[in-house]
Amino acid sequence: MPTTTNTPPPPFMPPPIPSLTPESEYLYLSTPPLPFEPDYYETFATLCDVLIDAYSRVLSLVSTPAACAQGVGEAFLKADGKVRRVVVAGVTREFEEACRGAVKREIGVLGKEILSGIM
């Protein structure tokens, strides 16, 4: 006859997932293969909504900066820096590249118009 004890079950800890980047290790993030190519704009908009919700919840937990311990603030700044590096820097770079391409095309069209008017 099996005996029962009143000890709680151990907390669920998923196995470590191979890291997406060499310097990071993710415990709760899984990246299964998708059967389709995700829409970039829809994915980015969803990510922004999730980040807005996460930042709002963090702000609702901390009423004043004095109520936040120094370690919590440092951890938040570290996480915020990673988000900025990954999300904001990538989007800024893509936006700059798109703007440069559009300006080059526009200058090319204007150059043709100016040259055709001279000749």
Those residues with Cβ within 8 angstroms of residue 87's Cβ, 6 or more apart along the chain or in another chain: 47, 51
Q: What is the pLDDT of residue 61?
A: 79
Q: Which pLDDT score is estimated for 101?
A: 92
CA-CA distance, 116 to 60, in Å (whole number)?
Answer: 62
Task: Return the pLDDT at 100.
Answer: 93
Q: Which residue stretches of the chain have pLDDT < 50?
A: 1-4, 9-10, 12-19
Q: What is the pLDDT of residue 90?
A: 81
pTM of the model: 0.46
If you ran DSSP here, which 8-state letter would residue 23 be given? T
Residue spans per domain, the chain? 40-118
Calpha distance 22→5 (Å, rounded)? 43
For residue 9, what pLDDT is reported? 47
Give SS3 for 17: strand
CA proximity to 96, closest of 85, 104, 106, 108:
104
pLDDT, position 105: 93
Q: Going by C-beta distance under 8 Å and a sequence separation of 6 or more, which residues neighbour residue 91?
A: 44
CA proximity to 87, closest of 43, 34, 30 = 43
Distance CA 64, CA 26 (A): 30
Read off the pLDDT of residues 59-78 as tens digits, 9 standing for 90 and up.
787 777 777 777 877 888 88
Q: Look up tokens 């204007």; give the residue.
A: 110
Identify the pLDDT of residue 106. Answer: 92
